[in-house]
Structure 1
Amino acid sequence: MLPTEIMAALVWILPPNAMPFFAAACEAAFVLAKPAKAMMDIPQIVPTHSSDTGEMGQVYLATGKEVSMRRWQEDRCEFGADHSRDYETVGYLISGHLELDMDGEHAKIMPGDSWMIPKGAVHRYRVIEPIVAIEATCPPGRFAGRDHPV
């Protein structure tokens, strides 16, 4: 079980239907930290107004030494190019409709569904209806150029 302080912090950064998924997924390694502005050993809250935005439009949420979270809000789009990343990704779709192609397999993702993309797996997304999604990456995707395709 996550400490009460961390569960309280999750209420501030996650919608109610996403909290149980991330509380369970991150229980062992969850550390809330303000990216690049505070020590990652100390629990931190990342307020929405101070969240950084990455090159692909992702909004960086809490970031620890071993795991980071990010929020995606994307409009409709066709499949992008196949790519892979140097980290593992788990995601949770809050709203919208998404398609995922991964290593030749195709999946439709609906609100409430979650997914996992192994480190190095070739994949691509298509947004059917505008989405809001939360992803966690391990190790943190935002550091050491990991958000760039491998």
Structure 2
Amino acid sequence: MMNRYTISVLVNDEPGVLQRVSGLFGRRGFNIDSITVGGSEQIGLSRMIIVTSGDDRIIEQVEKQLNKLIDVIEVTHLSLHSIVERELAFIKVKAEPSKRPEILGVVHTFRASIIDIGPNSLIIQVVGELNKMEALIELLKPYGILELCKTGTTAMIRGDKHP
């Protein structure tokens, strides 16, 4: 059975670390559904949030292999915890002036926002869980999506717990 797993990987903030981590996935034949990387609460360390799919054996192998990499400080299987996870997307949609009120209704329903208005287009910003984004994108398709850009998932354990 294919499950979705979210992993937090604390790594040294050094050139080539992202390549080594993503290369590990490729060499093992594991797919990365989403990866986000940025600074962490510790100077000199970055945190990667990686979403992958597979079975329990795959996630176990991924964790073992990641822990073998010299620049990896800590691997946390976030999916084992209660977590908060979000994505950010920008969606550029065709928006002739006559269609804008309809589009604005859809945007407000999803608590998204308009961040740019062009003569015949709008850029919509939406933050939320993956299923929320997919639903909004589906509703905007009939208007004509010109461009779509998503950040990938970022996640954190709820409450006082931390990796």
TM-score by length of 2: 0.24
The structure with the largest alpha-carbon Rg is 2
Normalising by structure 1, we get a TM-score of: 0.25
- Which is helix-richer, 1 or 2? 2
The answer to which structure, 1 or 2, has the higher relative contact order (CA under 8 A, 6+ apart) is 2
